[in-house]
Amino acid sequence: MDLIDWNDFARVELRVGRVLSAEPFLQARKPAYVLQVDFGDGIGVRKSSAQITAHYRPDDLVGRLVVGVVNFPKKQIGPLMSECLVTGFHDADGNVALCVPDRDVPLGAKLL
């Protein structure tokens, strides 16, 4: 494991957003959804491709809070320009479970 210092960690903008929409990403090589996530004033709505189809259905995602990295460069994923990275953890089967706050917090709140 490579060690980082506090300044390295502080540069990563991990922010809370609310999923506004989730649609199947039919052009993706691996099953995924296209998420529209609202990170609040100052950041706004960002698109993301998320390989979270094993544990979540689109209707279950709308309205949920998620944690996303909002200061990565945009990334072209097939026809989609991904604007943030929604975070999660691999379970024992290799499927992604979302990283989420356990309480309601303001949109755009930064992980400390």
- Per-residue pLDDT of 66-97, as tens digits, reads 999 999 999 999 999 999 999 999 999 999 99
Distance of CA 9 to the CA centre of its chain: 18
Domains of the chain with bracketed CATH = 12-98 (2.40.50.140)
Q: pLDDT tens digits for 30-65?
A: 999 999 999 999 999 999 999 999 999 999 999 999
pLDDT tens by residue, 2-18: 999 999 999 999 999 99
Q: Determine contact, residues 50/86, Cβ cutoff 8 Å.
A: yes
Q: According to the 3-state scheme, what is the secondary structure of the chain?
A: CCCCCHHHHHHCCEEEEEEEEEEECCCCCCCCEEEEEECCCCCCEEEEEECCCCCCCHHHHCCCEEEEECCCCCEEECCEEECCEECEEECCCCCEEECCCCCCCCCCCECC
Q: Which pLDDT does position 34 carry in this prediction?
A: 98
Instruction: Calculate the average pLDDT of the chain.
Output: 97
Buried b (16+ CB within 10 A) or exposed e, 46-69: bbbbbbbbeebeeeebeeebbbbe
Q: What is the pLDDT of residue 52?
A: 98
